[in-house]
Structure 1
Amino acid sequence: MRGFSDLNLNGPTPARVQPKVGEWGPEDVPTTQAKKRQRIWASLAFILALAAVCGLGWYFYKILNGGA
């Protein structure tokens, strides 16, 4: 194989994980704005889950040490 003559950018990946390709390019690909929103939501969900775990840990700590 000389150079990069293969124009199939999907390579050996299975067809089920390849994006659908329309007439002018991929279909149903999330936009950059949608990806930014998803990043923000994921960060907020992580922070809230971390706060819940820390709060629950603090609550159990206080209960086990005789406080409340």
Structure 2
Amino acid sequence: MRLFSDLNLNGRTPAQVRPNLGDWGPELVPSTRSKKRARFWVVPAFVGALLVVAGVFWFLVTQLTTG
């Protein structure tokens, strides 16, 4: 079982039948590579944001209890 779905929306469609970008859909569609890159960076960004929130919480609690 694969963890993520296939990001290639063309699938096994032959190259002759695939529309050029902008022919049938929006022109600013993200590429498969950029979607993979975004998936990779979501977890570290979330962990970093969680650490910042925990650090601020710890700082405020220590300031309120020791002051």
Q: TM-score, normalised by structure 2?
A: 0.52
1:51 aligns with 2:51: yes
- Could you tell me which runs of 5 or more consecutive residues in structure 1 were left unpaired when the two chains were aligned: 1-19
1:30 aligns with 2:30: yes
- Could you tell me which runs of 5 or more consecutive residues in structure 2 were left unpaired when the two chains were aligned: 1-20
CA shift, 1:58, in A, is 0.6
Query: Greater Rg, structure 1 or structure 2?
Result: 1
> More relative contact order in 1 or in 2 (CA 8 Å, sep 6+)?
2
CA shift, 1:52, in A, is 0.3
User: Percent of pairs identical after alignment?
Assistant: 39
User: Deviation above 3 Å: which 4+ runs of structure 1?
Assistant: 25-28
Which has the larger displacement, 51-60 or 31-40? Answer: 31-40
